A and B are shown apart, each in its own frame.
Chain A
Amino acid sequence: MRFLAVNGLSLHVAEIAAGVGRGPEAPTAVLVHGMAGDSMASWYLTLAHPLAERGMRVLLHDLRGHGRSDVPTDGYALDDFVNDLEGLLAGWGVTGRVHLFGNSFGGTVAFGYALRHPDRVAAITAIDSAPPTAAWFDRMGRRLGRAATLTATGRHAVSARRLRDVQRLLAETTIATELPASRLPDPAAFAAVTCPVLCLYGGDSPMLELAGPTERLLPQTRTVVLENAGHSMLVDRAADVRGHVVAWLDDLTTTALTGGREGRTHG
């Protein structure tokens, strides 16, 4: 296992080199997982290798408080997670634009990074996620509150282990109060984020309510709804998610090659 020292913490990282034929010019993909109970494994076991095979350098990490990364007692506002992403990119030596992929809250971190560095983001792929808004952070606060009351009754051993990690995160850190109280961006700031955006939603997921507001903030968003899918669609419907993401990335490549909006042929 590899770790990077970032913002005083040791963060668990992994890298999958780009597939054959791609050298240092390979585009960089950064995969960010979700809140409380998620880890880099959700990406590693689903989309990470297919993206590498498509020629991307794939970078993963466990968020602070999650997986094998350090669990500080506080420092769980959105800005802290974005700070970590900044520090990791520096640690990885990434200087060009990155494709950001985020699952649930991981997508929110991706949008947060794009708001800070709009010129550093090539595209955002968000799985059952939303940009940082008051409505989404209110919902997150309620979810974190409910998670604190979960019990291990009748669960598999592996779930019990994960549950123990979640309960420790909620009991021993300030995440449940600090994260919902994060400083949020002015909605007008989203105008600076002009990169292509793909938002995938589960048709059965409560997150789908946030699709409309997301399109109003980021009108370039392409929204795709996966029917009969819930919030954990990245893992539960990995093949479908992979299909939509790869098709979209192919479209982006074609658009760039034919001098579309991303091709900057004007001027």
Chain B
Amino acid sequence: MPTDKTAVLADIDAMLRAVLGDFGTDIEITAASTFRADLGMESLDVVSLAGRLQARYGDDVNFAQFLAGLDVSSMTDLRVGQLVDYVAESLGAVAAAS
């Protein structure tokens, strides 16, 4: 399981492109990309992303807890890098504990 941020960003990049489908073909995804303005994500896309995070990382990454720290409007202003940081920290914590 990757815990370095470059590998996590690559994982999330692939998930986002899958979620966005045709909308995600030509866009550039970086840590600075915002979910809404840059990626054009809507709230249902976030639901879909949550399912993919669960499938990839299982219970090691608690996306619900991540969501709980945000309200719905700030979620769409979220940057990809914030999610990458959260995932990398979660996976790092798991690696350190095991």
Q: Are B40 and A44 in contact (CB under 8 A)?
A: no
Interface residues on B, range: 20 to 34
A162 contacts B by Cβ under 8 Å? yes
**Which residue from chain B places its CB closest to the CB of A48 in the assembled complex?**
B64
**Which residue from chain A places its CB closest to the CB of B42 in the assembled complex?**
A158
CA–CA, A41 and B51, complex, Å: 12
Q: Is the interface of A mostly helix, strand, loop or mixed?
A: helix
Q: Are B76 and A39 in contact (CB under 8 A)?
A: no
Tell me the residues in window 39-59 of chain B with beta carbons closer than 8 Å to chain A beta carbons: 40-44, 46-48, 50-51
Q: Are B36 and A156 in contact (CB under 8 A)?
A: yes
Interface string of B28-45 (1 = CB under 8 A from A): 000000001100111110
Q: Are B47 and A44 in contact (CB under 8 A)?
A: yes
Q: Please report the total number of A residues contacting B with Cβ < 8 Å.
A: 26
- Within the complex, what minimum Cβ distance (angstroms) separates B77 from chain A? 10
**Given contact pairs A157-B37, A158-B41, A41 touches B67 in the complex (Cβ within 8 A):** no
Instruction: Kindly identify which residue among A41, A157, A236 contacts B44, using a CB–CB cutoff of 8 Å.
Output: A41
Query: Which 10 pairs show the lowest CB-CB distances between chains A and B?
Result: A41-B43, A49-B64, A158-B42, A157-B40, A41-B44, A235-B72, A44-B47, A158-B36, A41-B47, A39-B44
18 extra interface residue pairs, beta carbon distance < 8 Å, beyond A49-B68, A53-B64: A1-B48, A1-B51, A14-B47, A16-B64, A39-B44, A40-B44, A41-B43, A44-B47, A45-B43, A45-B67, A46-B72, A49-B67, A50-B68, A62-B44, A156-B36, A157-B40, A158-B40, A236-B72
Tell me the A residues contacting B by CB distance below 8 Å.
Answer: 1, 14, 16, 39-42, 44-46, 49-50, 52-53, 62, 67-68, 156-158, 161-162, 235-236, 238-239
A-B pairs with beta carbons under 8 Å apart, 30 shown: A1-B48, A16-B64, A39-B43, A39-B44, A40-B47, A41-B44, A41-B46, A41-B47, A42-B43, A42-B72, A44-B46, A44-B50, A45-B46, A45-B47, A45-B75, A46-B72, A49-B64, A49-B68, A50-B68, A52-B64, A53-B64, A68-B44, A157-B37, A158-B36, A158-B40, A162-B42, A235-B72, A236-B72, A238-B71, A239-B71
